[in-house]
Amino acid sequence: MLVGKRISDRYKIIELIGGGGMSNVYLAHDMILNRDVAIKILRYDFTNEDELHRRFQREALSVTSLTHPNIVSIYDVGDDGDLHYIVMEYVQGKTLKQYIQEFAPISPARSVHIMKQLTSAIANAHENHIIHRDIKPQNILMDAEGNVKITDFGIAMTLSATSFTQTNSVLGTVHYLSPEQARGGTATNKSDIYALGIVLYELLTGELPFSGESAVSIALKHLQSETPSVRAFDGTIPQSLENVVLKATAKDASHRYATVEEMQEDLETVLSSARINEPKFTIPIDNDATRAIPIIKEQFIRKDEDLTKTRAMEPISQKKVEAKKPVEKVEPVKQKKKWPKYVAGLFIVVIAMFLFFLFATDLFSPKKIAVPDVTNLTVEDATKKLQEAGFVVAEQQEERNSEDIEKGKVIETDPEKDAKRVQGTEIELIVSLGVETVKIDDYTGQQISQVEALLKDKLIIQKNYVHSKLPEGQIIEQDPQEGAEIIAKDATITFTISQGVKMITVDSVANYTKAQMDDYVKRVGLKWRTVREEYNDTVPAGSVISQTPKPGTSLMEGDTIAVVLSKGPAEKPVKTFIKNVLIPYEPTEEGAEQVIRIEIQDKNHTMVKAFDEFTITSDQQYKIQLVIVEGEEAAYKIIRDSEIIESDSFNYDDVK
């Protein structure tokens, strides 16, 4: 058991997650990069196969050059003693086979989405001169988001090239085997296309097109039987989609898609409304192909024999030869040769006939005249000119667009101008429809991929992408608008297309003022609102205490951040203390004024500034009023001529 062991002092084996006839796949942890990986290890009973090991390693190394989001990445290839392994990206999910078994039949839209990922991956491999050779749902992984990744590139062919046999392994693959592979031929790019067609069939129906009791019986069906109709399984499947299956799985590789890219392009538009009811794909008839010739019996030849055709002589049997009597040899009588006279006479006759036809034709044939040039004339004027020349103008007129000849005038004639024809010949006019125009339809709300396929040969398309809550790829606006007629040549239509929702990661806005909140949401494309205000001893009034959602959350553009604003510290209870004091008059000189200064420290005042200031010439009563906050104290001072004559302080609790 390898579970718990460490391979090459780096990969710790966690558990067995899969296996086949020649290797096992384990979930492992890369101790250096601290990540989970999948590690494929060649089984012990094949480790002594030197050729297998070399090919196993060579194929794996070649695939490391592939970088594609739908191909499982290979990180490392190595040996640890007798263990030969390949380290791959770990895809947490299930195989496409498990997905099909759980959810089949898969909807056409979902099937096409999966197939576009697969064709993109295989196209990338083919560009790098790598043929998969063993495409099947068991070799396709699907993650939690529904994205698929292809694995096991080239390994199946590498293993099957060795000296051993694994019938069960072949049986697992033969369901997707192309006819040329079943015939024992070499796998090509088109073998991968065939397997992709079988995978699409299985997605749409949940079944395999060919089954049997043995690998041989299934392989024979790949060679001899046409792929069953997916529409016979489900009549709602568009004919255009069935055509993809039929073309990809054509028995003759020359009738399949030329490349995987061509198949991918077909899938891009296969569900468009313009293609749903297209004719069923049929194999083109090759008149030059070798065919079996039926045996024609002698009696049928006798009835209506074509003497210009070569036919075989009837064989003569030995018995007939023996039955004939011998013929005596007779010396031929020599005659004088007469053929030189005959040849000379025949030559004279031929020359005479040639001269007769050369000159007599011009003598007796009707006179030919040139067809007049009526280009750029109106139909009426052109007709008149042709009739005056002795020609007949055909009632049927061909009409076509022209960039040079205005609408209603003649572009050319058939026969063309200056052609020699006898009088009375019928002349057809080709009349201008004017410059070709295109009437613009309403494309808003449609997917840009479908509209591009519809207009690619008619208009130049310019695309502007904007973030929107509408589905990604949907056309939001167009210019020109519906109903406009524009000149077809170099005509351009501009589409504003949804790029999908823009996601914004929310920052922390704690302690932001209202002005700062306005600036922030304007900059990032959000909105904000106040849900409530509350007292806070630490956050200044008018600033943000808390927010919803929390920082780091992703919001769609235009969403709102809800905040709680501070009202500042909460108001504490107060008490009012009143004290009447007597300020004595004690001048140094009789009758002189004394300056009195009153200072107060309470909720509303500080001693930095005088609360009251006045002069006295006699004793005077004064009422002092202090407002004391809970938990704090208040105080007062009475200063006479710069001398403190009385002061006192009071706690909140001292006041009754």
Instruction: Give the list of residues 6+ apart from residue 101 with CB closer than 8 angstroms, or none.
Output: 206
Residues 78-91: b if buried by 16+ CB within 10 A, e if exposed: beeeebbbbbbbbb
Q: Cα–Cα distance between 418 and 107 in angstroms, integer?
A: 63
Q: Whats the size of the chain, residue-wise?
A: 656
Q: Which of 134, 152, 266, 602 is catalytic?
A: 134
Query: Could you please report the per-residue DSSP string of 373-392?
Result: --TT-BHHHHHHHHHHTT-E
Of 159, 157, 197, 192, the C-alpha closest to 45 is 159
Q: Which residues pair with 472 in a beta bridge?
A: none
Residue 418 annotated in active site:
no
Q: In angstroms, what CA-CA distances link 588 with 67, 473, 515, 593?
A: 104, 98, 62, 10
| Strand positions, DSSP E, 440-543 | 460-466, 475-479, 485-487, 492-498, 503-505, 527-534
Question: Has 40 been labeled as part of a binding site?
Answer: yes
Q: Cα–Cα distance between 377 and 380 in angstroms, integer?
A: 8
Q: Count of CB atoms within 10 A of residue 613's CB?
A: 11
The answer to whether the beta carbons of residues 29 and 12 sit under 8 Å apart is yes
165, two tokens: 């046999």
Instruction: Give the list of residues 6+ apart from residue 603 with CB closer than 8 angstroms, or none.
Output: 574, 627, 628, 629, 632, 634
* Residue with tokens 């070649």, as numbered in its chain: 62
83, two tokens: 């263990």
- Describe the strand order of the beta sheet including 475-479 as a list of residue ranges: 460-466, 492-498, 475-479
Q: In angstroms, what CA-CA distances link 615 with 94, 269, 506, 590?
A: 97, 101, 65, 15
The C-alpha R_g of the chain, in whole angstroms, comes to: 50
Give the residue ranges of the annotated binding site for ATP.
40
Give the residue ranges of the annotated binding site.
40
Kindly list the catalytic residues. 134
